């Protein structure tokens, strides 16, 4: 893929989307309400996207109990994990979506700006712009930009029972941003009680 994907409107930006429909079973309580930096994880995730994008949605829950007033949708296909949330977002918004999850407290605006810069240079066939760890080949599917043309692929693969985003989007339809394992801290996510202890340590270190 070498031709560049033109923007219908060069000034258009993706819609920001925070996925917040998980059940937090591994953590034992709702991670979206985990206190962090004077608010909670969902509020922080929303504010981070609002700093770089003019429109932000939440998918998976009503954000008003978090003190947030912005567009939202419940998952159209519950039980499908993040892939179902991405599908819901793309169908609701109808344009490119910069998707993050609500459990990435160390993600910062610079990472999102780097993602947006790479997205502007995406090849014509790319359905997903994402970070790829060079040592392992792991992709950051929940810090990625998805294209509306991916709706058909998501619908077809979910119907077949395939829910993992890295499997739904093979390498030939991805635009990769390489990063090193040494730079992976910004992608630290909160899944288990032990992760909260790690987060507290990271917050208080000099």
Which domain CATH number covers 185?
3.90.550.10
Q: How many domains does the chain have?
A: 1
pLDDT value for 21: 79
Above 90 in pLDDT, residue 201? no
Q: Judging by DSSP bridges, how do beta strands 128-133 and 174-179 pair with one another?
A: parallel
Q: Tens of pLDDT along 91-122?
A: 999 999 999 999 999 999 999 999 999 999 99
Using a pLDDT cut of 70, give the percent of the chain over it: 88
Q: Is position 61 within any domain?
A: yes
Q: Is position 159 within any domain?
A: yes
Looking at per-residue confidence, does 190 or 52 come out higher? 52
Q: Is position 62 within any domain?
A: yes
Query: For residue 20, with 0-12 CB atoms within 10 Å meaning exposed, 13-18 middle and 19 or more buried, which class applies?
Result: buried
Above 80 in pLDDT, residue 25? no
Above 80 in pLDDT, residue 166? yes
Q: Is position 8 within any domain?
A: no
The answer to whether the beta carbons of residues 129 and 177 sit under 8 Å apart is yes
Confidence of residue 33 (pLDDT cuts 50, 70, 90): confident
Q: Is position 5 within any domain?
A: no
Q: Is position 2 within any domain?
A: no
With CA atoms as reference, report the closest residue to 177 among 154, 144, 136, 147: 144
The answer to whether the beta carbons of residues 102 and 149 sit under 8 Å apart is no
Q: Which domain holds residue 24?
A: 15-204
Q: Is position 60 within any domain?
A: yes
Q: Is position 106 within any domain?
A: yes
- pTM for the model: 0.90
Cβ neighbours, 10 Å, residue 53: 17
């Amino acid at each position: 893929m070498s031709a560049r994907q033109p923007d219908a409107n060069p000034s258009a930006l993706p819609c920001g989307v925070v996925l917040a429909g998980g059940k937090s079973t591994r953590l034992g309580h709702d991670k979206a309400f985990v206190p962090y930096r004077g608010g909670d994880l969902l509020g922080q995730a929303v504010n981070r996207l609002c700093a770089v994008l003019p429109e932000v949605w939440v998918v998976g829950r009503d954000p008003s109990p978090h003190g947030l007033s912005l567009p939202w949708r419940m998952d159209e296909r519950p039980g499908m994990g993040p892939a179902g949330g991405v599908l819901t977002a793309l169908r609701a918004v109808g344009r490119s979506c910069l998707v993050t999850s609500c459990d990435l407290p160390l993600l910062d605006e610079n990472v999102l700006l780097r993602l947006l810069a790479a997205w502007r240079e995406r090849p014509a066939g790319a359905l997903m712009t994402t970070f790829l760890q060079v040592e392992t080949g792991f992709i950051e599917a929940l810090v990625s930009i998805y294209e509306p043309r991916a709706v058909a692929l998501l619908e077809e693969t979910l119907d077949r029972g395939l829910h993992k985003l890295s499997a739904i989007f093979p390498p030939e339809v991805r635009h990769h941003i390489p990063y090193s394992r040494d730079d992976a801290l910004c992608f630290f996510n909160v899944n288990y009680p032990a992760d909260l202890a790690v987060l507290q340590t990271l917050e208080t270190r000099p």
